[in-house]
Chain A
Amino acid sequence: MKRVIVLMTVLCMAVGLYAQTTVEFWHAMTGKNGEMVQTICDQFNASQKEYKVVPVYKGSYVDTMNAGIAAFRAGQAPAIIQVYEVGTATMMAAKNAIKPVYQLMAENNMKWDPNIYIPTIKSYYSTSDGRMLSMPFNSSTAVMYYNKDAFRKAGLDPEKPPVTWPEFFEVAKKLKASGMEGGFSTNWISWIQLENFCAWHNIPFGTRSNGFDGLDTTLVFNSPITVRHFQNIYDLSKTGVFIYGGRENKANPLFTSGRVGMHFESIGGYGNMKANCKFDFGVARLPYYPDVPGAPQNSIIGGASLWVFNGRPAAEYKTVAEFFNFISKPEIQSLWHKATGYLPVTQAAYELTKSQGYYKDNPGLEVAIKQLTNKTPTPNSMGVRFGNMPIIREIEDQIWEDILSGKISVKAGLDKMVSEGNKTLREFEKLYK
């Protein structure tokens, strides 16, 4: 009798396994973030019996995207892939390769409201008429970090970080005068000081709603206000008030080691700051130029979203749709937000986290959310959507270094960023026309 029961159980399990649809989810999350991806998938798998999502770590964002491309070309694409924000236009343009999220949800008759997502996050991954193409996942935005201890030492009020750029530069000079090696540094010159700078001042980064309305877009960020901003930073680099720390997020050690008093970095780096700063630090909004009408507008996001590959069996798409609904739940979003420092992608998740009193101990995270939702996004602040975005950012990084090393003037440098960027936009347009 006992044997029969065992046999029956095994059989039932086998049938159960057979009926379960498994989909792969390729991602680029490491450390704590990678553990959380696993946790969320485990919770989803435990919440029901029909579907199973298996997370697979594929390396950096670049590695993951290339793995996805190679797999798609070989007919072996996973159902879900995490793609960083600069790959958005490439994914969108690959119409044969992807299944838009709005379509996925409609085909599987899911109860799903795209308006639950925070507007700036939703718009970044939607067409200009509001159809969502990929599922928001890990979103961040750029903020200012400042060293409160250094503020005190320089005789500044640590609870009153500078609000405008002119104030900011004065504070930076005072910090240096107080004995620090420099006043400030910044990560991501392209994402923070150009893309976010333009959105925050409600000025266009490119034409055609920053590329949302079509491929026939051109870059226009070499406006007088950007030239003025870059000139200010360049001038301060000559006196050592601004210290250049390298591309992407390589300037972080300048701030964490206490060599500069203020720094610009993603809110996604909040956990890292908490772990590495041996001093009291604060998070503040990005400064703005008060004479620019409409400023401050809202900042834009960075991070990555989840894309769905075409050509998988129908049952897998049902699984993906269920999974996407699951990860959009307030409690899951809140869990992700608190563990990783990425922003909650829905309004409800923000409210939930707030009601738990989480922001009392972590005010920095709320600063980022408030900055992102400061105003209803305009065509200048929905995000940026350009083909060959990695090339454009590379051009910006390179020319910024040429400006700092005196090889080219600020104005000529910004003009060159725009003209070289436009060349690569025309190539992208030619390919996808």
Chain B
Amino acid sequence: MAKQYEFKAPVLPYLLVLPQMVIVFIFFFWPAAQAILQSFYLQDPFGGRMIFVGFQNYSKLLVDPDYWQSFRVSTAFALCITLSAMTISLFLAIQANKKIRFASFYKTMLVWPYAVSTLVAGVIWLFLFNPNVGVIAYVLKHTFHVDWQYLLNFNQAFFLLTMAASWKQLAYNFVFFLAGLQSVPATLVEAAEIDGAGAARRFWKIIFPLLSPTTFYLLVMNLVYGFFETFPIVHAITQGAPGKSTGILVYKVWRDGVINLDLGSSAAQSVILMLMVIVLTVFQFRFIERRVTY
């Protein structure tokens, strides 16, 4: 049990947290309040007119099949990224954790993509796969005769986005999995081995349960990443194409607010996203965390 300190002076503790509170207020509560306020108005971008419309910005979204389509594709996208980024990085971490030649070289290389910004990652994949200029696209078309045109083919577009976004997240997951694996006591694994447990059994019965805090943490982080931080990838690679089929929620918020200047709807969408983040976090920490053995 950690020792608790008590301040004698009644004001000092408040003064000490004040800087943090000011920052949180200015950069979180104030914009959030603005967004909530704006979501009830129809307004011109220059602030000349503001018409109160109640919940109209919300109701329009909720009856809009395109918004639900965007919601579905965002969910599918986040789940696919989480699944692929986590399984691949776990596999790589296990391999890199073995006693092999050049282990530290592999580790360094695998961590490297983490230094690449998400937007740059998007652009790299764009230059590889764009049907007009991409190198791999050219090979796909001319050597393998694949009809590669993700601008008009949703499956190809979705696959490409998932690959690019997962690749960007691999390094992050890899670091955590590797650290998690290294903290698994070697004695336990050796004891199991002596008892005759095979490699698969050792992994599922000993290593995987001991990794669960890491896995849980990464699950949260990957879902949040997949939902809310993949904007630059979509922006660079598809811009929502074909049609609006890959226009994920965060991309739509930006597009409607910044380019289309539909501030009311954009504000309503960001409030909905905010609620989603809150619900997601509460749900994960209250219900899933309990089952995780630490």
Contact = CB atoms under 8 A, between A and B. Distances in A.
Interface of A: 62, 66, 69, 72-73, 90, 93-97, 244-247, 250-251, 253-254, 257, 388, 390-391, 394, 398-399, 401-402, 404-405, 407, 427, 430-432
A420 to B, nearest CB: 10
A401 B241 contact: yes
A95 B48 contact: yes
A69 B240 CA distance: 26
A401 B152 contact: yes
Nearest to A62: B259
B130 to A, nearest CB: 8
Contacts of B132: 245-246, 250-251, 253-254, 257
B19 interface: no
Given A394-B255, A402-B242, A244 B261 contact: no
A401 B44 contact: no
A244 B44 contact: no
Contacts of A244: 149, 151-152
Interface string B221-253: 000000000000000000111111000000000
A69 B46 CA distance: 6
Given A401-B152, A432-B49, 9 more contacts: A244-B149, A246-B241, A253-B132, A390-B259, A391-B260, A391-B262, A398-B243, A399-B243, A401-B242
B133 A90 contact: no
Range, interface on chain B: 20 to 34
Interface residue SS majority, chain B: loop
Contacts of B240: 398
A426 B46 CA distance: 19
Nearest to A185: B132
Interface of B: 42-49, 51, 131-133, 149, 151-154, 239-244, 255, 258-262
Nearest to B261: A90
A428 to B, nearest CB: 9
A401 B151 contact: yes
A246 B151 contact: yes
Contacts of A431: 42-44, 49, 51
Nearest to B49: A431
A384 to B, nearest CB: 17
Given A251-B132, A391-B262, A405 B43 contact: no
A94 B44 contact: yes
